[in-house]
Amino acid sequence: MKKFDLDENRFTRISGFLTVGYRDYLAARTLLINGLLYRGVIISATSIEKLLKVFIILNGSPKKTHKVDKLFDEAIEFDTNLSTHINRDFIDFLAKAYDLRYFDNEVFSKPSKRFKLSVAQYKTLAELDLTAITILNSFKVHYSGYELKSEYHSHLEEKYDLLYDKNFILNKTSKQSLIEQNQKVYQIKTVENGGVMERFYQTESAKNDGVFIFKDER
């Protein structure tokens, strides 16, 4: 864990990203747990985007981008340990999911484009928890002689339900057992006429294999 003593400017910059990024993380968890997978994966992407920006601001200055994959590349330049603990395939998965925000972008409006993404409920939740908590635990911040105690740290102490519910890390339970159970899946893909097809189903075949973008989705 790195420790940072902040001046007022950097303190102001990270405070907003840290607060909103963490709240997006809680919102994403809530959506995924309740099976609202379309919005859940989008908010997952925005939460990790903001948390990565906190990490990068602490170490330098982030690029002006919303793309999680580009921010992750920048973050690991400062700390290669992130690449050891965070699944790159999940980062690329979130980067793809970011395109789901609008249906008038070129991914969906150009027939020549091909897009396909599958979101498994608990598999996505488990990797989101691992990614967010890895980033949140990678730094400690001091300002004006005091350690910054964020909402995340307060919620850890009180065992806040929205943070702890089905969180295999904080509850010290099996990641595999969480992932390899019956769960909801949302799938979206473009079709040849330029339209979009969605599919919702249940599966018992999710695997704890770290794969989030399958061969036919690349």
Does residue 109 register a pLDDT over 80?
no
Q: Which residues pair with 190 in a beta bridge?
A: 196
* Mean pLDDT to the nearest integer, 54-70: 82
Q: What is the pLDDT of residue 14?
A: 83
- Within a 13 Å sphere around the CA of 105, how many CA atoms are in the beta-carbon half? 10
- Name the nearest CA neighbour of 182 among 119, 127, 122: 122
Between CA 41 and CA 106 the distance in angstroms is 20
Does residue 211 register a pLDDT over 90?
yes
Q: What is the pLDDT of residue 62?
A: 63
Q: What is the pLDDT of residue 163?
A: 98
User: What confidence category does residue 112 fall into, taking pLDDT thresholds of 50, 70 and 90?
Assistant: low
- Quick: pLDDT tens for 118-149: 999 999 999 999 999 999 998 888 777 777 78
Inter-residue contact 58 to 9 (CB < 8 Å): no
Q: Which residues pair with 5 in a beta bridge?
A: 142
Tokens of 81: 């340990």
Phi (first) and psi of residue 197, to 5 degrees: -115, 135
Between CA 149 and CA 134 the distance in angstroms is 17
Does residue 66 register a pLDDT over 80?
no
Q: Whole-angstrom distance between the N-terminal and C-terminal Cα of the chain? A: 34
Which pTM does this prediction carry? 0.92
Does residue 111 register a pLDDT over 60?
no
* CATH topology assigned to domain 2-102+122-176: Four Helix Bundle (Hemerythrin (Met), subunit A) (1.20.120)
Query: Which residues have a Cβ under 8 Å from the Cβ of 99 and sit 6 or more positions away?
Result: 105, 107, 115
Q: What is the pLDDT of residue 106?
A: 61
Q: What is the pLDDT of residue 58?
A: 87
Q: What percent of the chain has pLDDT over 70?
A: 92
Query: Which residues have a Cβ under 8 Å from the Cβ of 155 and sit 6 or more positions away?
Result: 162, 163
* Mean pLDDT to the nearest integer, 191-205: 87
DSSP three-state, residue 203:
strand
- Quick: pLDDT tens for 14-32: 888 899 999 999 999 999 9
Q: What average pLDDT does the structure give for the chain?
A: 89
Q: Quick one: CA dihedral 154, 157, 159, 163, positive or negative? A: positive
Tokens of 156: 């850890």
The full set of domain ranges for the chain reads: 2-102+122-176
